[in-house]
């Protein structure tokens, strides 16, 4: 008797969606936990993004450092090894986060099709 493939749990599907979005963030760009959640189809679940990224194994190739808190803030506590590592990794990509914040006007990632609310409110119909 052949075994049937196991179904992916809902939690695994959510984690996979989050990681797929994070993998799309290009080098030298950042986005927020909330934006990752929304793009993964999980609006208002920014904390879940943090939980999924926090569970990554050491040496993971997922570019977790490119995800920051609202307003461009580094979410890790001052003086923590994770904060230091994130700031160093972003610096190697040309993103200045030395003061614990990234300038989102300069470094925010804008995925195709994610123009934002302003676009939909103010764009001209042509």
Q: Which pLDDT tens digits describe the chain residue by residue (126 residues)? A: 555 455 679 999 999 999 999 999 999 999 999 999 999 999 999 999 999 999 999 999 999 999 999 999 999 999 999 999 999 999 999 999 999 999 999 999 986 655 444 444 444 544
Element (H, E) at 32: strand 31-32
- pTM of the predicted model as reported, rounded to 2 decimal places: 0.82
pLDDT, position 6 = 57
Fold of 10-109: Arc Repressor Mutant, subunit A (1.10.10)
DSSP letter for each residue of 30-55: BEEHHHHHHHTT-TT-HHHHHHHHHT
Domain borders along the chain are: 10-109
């Amino acid at each position: 008797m052949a075994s049937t493939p196991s179904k992916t749990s809902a939690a695994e599907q959510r984690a996979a969606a989050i990681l797929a979005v994070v993998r799309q963030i290009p080098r030298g760009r950042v986005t927020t936990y909330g934006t990752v959640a929304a793009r993964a189809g999980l609006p208002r679940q920014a904390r879940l993004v943090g939980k999924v990224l926090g569970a990554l194994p050491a040496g993971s190739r997922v570019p977790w450092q490119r995800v920051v808190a609202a307003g461009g803030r580094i979410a890790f506590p001052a003086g923590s090894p994770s904060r230091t590592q994130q700031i160093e990794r972003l610096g190697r990509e040309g993103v200045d986060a030395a003061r614990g914040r990234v300038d989102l006007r300069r470094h925010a990632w804008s995925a195709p099709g994610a123009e934002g609310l302003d676009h939909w409110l103010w764009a001209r119909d042509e």
